[in-house]
Amino acid sequence: MHSYTLDDYLSLQRGIAVKLEYFDGDICLMAGYSAGHYRISRNVLRLFDAKLAGSSCEAFGSDMRVNTPSGLYTYPDASIICGPKVSNAAETISNPIVIVEVLSDSTRNYDRGEKFDLYRSIPALRHYLLIEQNFHHVEHRRLETE
């Protein structure tokens, strides 16, 4: 198995339209979107934009990459930052206070387990929302400050 550097990943991601996730030397193609997934993501962003209007907070969709201190680079379905955008790259944020993932059969276990563990290393993160697309269910995980 080939191990990639972060520079390999960033170079590869710049040259293609599909979204790739990077962690611990591995690069994975992210799952594609269904129409339902897209609709839910779009509606979440609309709600966030309406609630955040006039504040110092800003909502982003799945085109904004998030990186974690644990080394994960990925594209959540939605995220919110408050204050300045913190990152080394223009298309990446490292200080979201909210992350939203729309679940699918292929990502549900990862989003609830290992990915959440990696997201938890973000000091600013306070809320993690998991939204089912195949039935009505939203899971809200609140992270407390230490």
Q: What's the angle, vertex CA 142, arms to CA 92 and CA 27, rounded to 5?
A: 35
Per-residue pLDDT band for 17 (boundaries 50, 70, 90) equals confident
pLDDT in tens, 100-139: 999 998 889 999 999 999 999 999 999 999 999 988 999 9
pTM for the predicted model, two decimal places: 0.92
Alpha-carbon distance of 11 to 21, in angstroms, equals 13
- Closest among 56, 57, 63 to 78, alpha carbons compared: 63
